[in-house]
Amino acid sequence: LYEGRYHEARDAAGRALERARASGNDVLMAAALNNLGDAERHLGLAGEAIEHLCRAAEIERRLQRDASSANALCELALTYLQTDRIAGAATAADDLVRLLDVKPNELMHPQQVAWVASRVRLAQGDGGAARALARRASLHLDGMVAAIADAEARTAFLALEFNREILAADNAGPPS
């Protein structure tokens, strides 16, 4: 997924989902559904993406793995934004902000969570909340980058799609 090979990622996630179902492992099923939905979002398959991302988030919630649901919620919010379903995006963003407020240290990518929530708030017309969340995203990113000593690893980390977007927004100024 991070290399932009979405057709291949979709195929691989489909195979992983079949294996997870066969083994009955819900954690693996949630991960496969999340990756499948992520690939589908990038391929413009919004209906399928929404279905798979909702199922991934539901499994994570049922397993009480709230922080693990963050990536599915981010992808879900972005899919809703891409299809102008602001109410759905807002619901996902509400969950993201709650996770950011309650479990920031458990999130793998808190900068992504804040960034996606910022984009949703901007789409809702709440510039103040969008700016505050964009600032939180930037601060999380700065702290994470500072903790990566290896230059090659730092470069790879900064190449992640959401990190590139945060840096671009930092250079462009706050959202209006």
Distinct helix (H) and strand (E) counts, the chain: 9, 0
| Contact between residue 128 and residue 174 where contact means Cβ atoms under 8 Å apart | no
Kindly report, residue by residue over 22-46, the tens digit of the pLDDT.
999 999 999 999 999 999 999 999 9
Output the pLDDT for position 3: 73
The structure tokens listed for 68 are 């693990």
| Contact between residue 135 and residue 122 where contact means Cβ atoms under 8 Å apart | no
| Contact between residue 62 and residue 50 where contact means Cβ atoms under 8 Å apart | no
Q: What percentage of the chain exceeds 70 in pLDDT?
A: 97
Question: CB count, 10 Å around CB of 8?
Answer: 12
Residue 174 has pLDDT above 60, yes or no: no
Mean per-residue pLDDT, 3-19: 92
Sign of CA dihedral 122, 128, 133, 137: positive
Q: 143 or 67, which is more confident?
A: 143
C-alpha dist (Å) from residue 104 to 10, 12, 90, 107, 138:
29, 30, 19, 6, 14
Q: Using CA atoms, how far apart are residues 127 and 31, in angstroms rounded to an integer?
A: 33
Report the amino acid identity of residue 87. A
Q: Using CA atoms, how far apart are residues 57 and 26, in angstroms rounded to an integer?
A: 11
Kindly report, residue by residue over 114-156, the tens digit of the pLDDT.
999 999 999 999 999 999 999 999 999 999 999 999 999 999 9
The structure tokens listed for 23 are 């083994």
pLDDT band at 50 (very low <50, low <70, confident <90, very high): very high
Please give the mean pLDDT across all residues of the chain: 94
